[in-house]
Amino acid sequence: MTRPDLYERIRDARAQREAQQRTRVRRNVTRRDGARYEVDGRWLTGFCGNDYLGLAQQFAVVAALQDAASRDGIGSTASHLVCGHHAAHEALEREIADWLEYPRGLLLGSGFLANLAVLQAFLGTDDVCVQDRLNHASLIDAARLADCRLRRYPHADAEGALRQLRSIPEGAAMLATDGVFSMDGDIAPLRALMLAARMQQALVYVDDAHGVGVLGNTGRGSVSACGLGPADVPLQLVTLGKALGGYGAVLVGDEGLIQHLSEVARPYIYSTALPPAQAAASLAAVKIARREEWRRVKLRESIVRLRTSAAAHGLELLPSDTPIQPFVCGSETRALAYATALEDAGYWVAAIRPPTVPEGGARLRITLSALHGSAEIDGLIDTLSRARDRFGDDKAKAAAPAAT
C-alpha cells in the first residue's frame, strides 16, 4: 500500500489557493490607537475589527487588567474545576448573567470552545442539531464533532428550520443559530425560530457573538431586541472579544443547563481557565457597556451615516442595521483590488473570500466602532466610490450556502 504524501497534498492545496487568490496573509500591528493601527510602519484607519463599543483600550478596562495582574499574575494556573477558578471569574459570570437576565453564567476560553462545549454536552449520535446555513464555522464544526445529525436550513428561513426538525422526529433536538450573522450583518428571525423549535420540542441556542453589547435594551443583544428571554431561548453565548473588547466567552442559561455544562463539557473541564486579570478587565468592560448608552447611540448614528452616504454615492451594501456593513464585490480579484485601493488611501478593510463566504460572494466586510468619527466614515465612502468608478461595479451575488 502506498500512502498519500501529506507534503505533496499540502503543496497542491497551496497552489490551488494561490490560483484562486485565496491565500491568507497575517499583518503585523505594531501599535494601536483607538480606530487607528500602525501596520508595516504606516498608520491606517481600521474598519475591519470587532471593537464595536471602543472598549478594548478604554482606560478603566486597561487599569482593571493591570491592577488584577499585579495581584494575581498572568495566569490562572489550572482548569476551573481544579484550582483555576478565581473570584474574578465568578464575578464576571454573575455580572453577565445579571445583565442578560439569566440565572447563571459559565466562563470559557473562546466562543469556538463554548459552541463545542454546548453541542458535545447535550447531543449524541441519536440526536439532531438544526442550523442556519450561514452559521459561524464553530457551530458547524461543533455539531460534526458531537457526532449528532446535522441538518441545515436556508438562511433566516424559519419554515425551513421547522421542516428540518420534522424530518427527524426521533432523538433530542437543538435549533442553533447566530444572533447576528458575522459576514452579512443581518439578524436571525428569532421569534419565528423559537416558535418552530417549540412546535418540535427543540432547545433553542443562540450564538450572539456580534449582538450582545450592540443590540437590545442596555445592549443585552439580539434575543432581548426580539422581545425574548430565557423562557424562549434557554441558552445563549456571549463572546468577550467583540463589543466587550477582550477575550473569552460566557454561556448563560438556566441553572440545570449550566450546571450540566460545568460537569461534563470537555472544553471546560480540560482547559486552563482564563487569566484572572483578563476576567477582571472584561468585568470592567461589561459594567461600562451596561451603563454608557452613548456608545450604542454613537454607533447607531455612524451606521446611519455610512449607509446614507453609501446610497448617495450609488454604493449597494447588504441590508444590515448592525455594525457589520458588507459590500459584495463578487470575485476574489475585485475584492482584493478594492481592499488595496482603500489601504492606499489609509483605510484598512479586509477582503473576505471563499470559503468564509459563498462562491461568488467575496466582499469587503466593513465594520464600525463607536471610536469612528464622521470624517473617517465619509472618507471611507468617498474612497470606495472612487474605487468603484475605477474597477467597475460587479453585482454578482452568491447563490451557494456559506462554506464550513
Confidence (pTM): 0.93
- Angle in degrees, CA 189, 192, 198, rounded to 5: 135
CATH number of this structure's domain 21-53+293-391, picked from the four choices 3.90.1150.10, 3.30.750.24, 3.40.190.80, 3.40.30.10: 3.90.1150.10
Domain ranges, ordered by start, for the chain: 21-53+293-391, 59-291
C-beta of residue 100 within 8 angstroms of C-beta of residue 234:
no
Instruction: Give the position of cell 478603566.
Output: 60
Q: What are the start-end ranges of the H helices in 130-275? A: 137-146, 158-167, 190-199, 222-225, 255-264, 266-269
C-beta of residue 125 within 8 angstroms of C-beta of residue 159:
no
Distance CA 255, CA 77 (A): 27
Q: Cα 103 to chain center, whole Å?
A: 23
Could you please report the per-residue DSSP string of 300-352? HHHHHHHHHHHHHTT--PPS-SSSEEEEEEESHHHHHHHHHHHHHTTEE-PEE
Per-residue model confidence (pLDDT) at position 24? 84
Cell representation of residue 154: 436556508
C-beta of residue 108 within 8 angstroms of C-beta of residue 117:
yes
**Among 341, 344, 321, which residue's Cα sits nearest to residue 329?**
341
Distance CA 170, CA 173 (A): 8
Distance CA 376, CA 347 (A): 9
| Distance separating the N- and C-terminal Cα atoms of the chain | 32
C-beta of residue 53 within 8 angstroms of C-beta of residue 370:
yes
Would you identify the CATH topology of the domain 59-291?
Aspartate Aminotransferase; domain 2 (3.40.640)
Binding-site positions read 24, 111-112, 136, 182, 210, 239, 356
Binding-site positions for substrate read 24, 136, 356
Those residues of the chain that have pLDDT short of 70 are: 393-404
Per-residue model confidence (pLDDT) at position 401? 39
> Is the dihedral angle over the CA atoms 276, 211, 358, 116 positive or is it negative?
positive
Q: What does DSSP assign to residue 218? A: G
Burial class (CB in 10 A: 0-12, 13-18, 19+), 2: exposed
Binding-site positions for pyridoxal 5'-phosphate read 111-112, 182, 210, 239
Instruction: Assess whether the region 21-53+293-391 and the region 59-291 belong to the same CATH fold.
Output: no
Task: Encode pLDDT of 228-272 as tens digits.
Answer: 999 999 999 999 999 999 999 999 999 999 999 999 999 999 999
SS3 220: coil
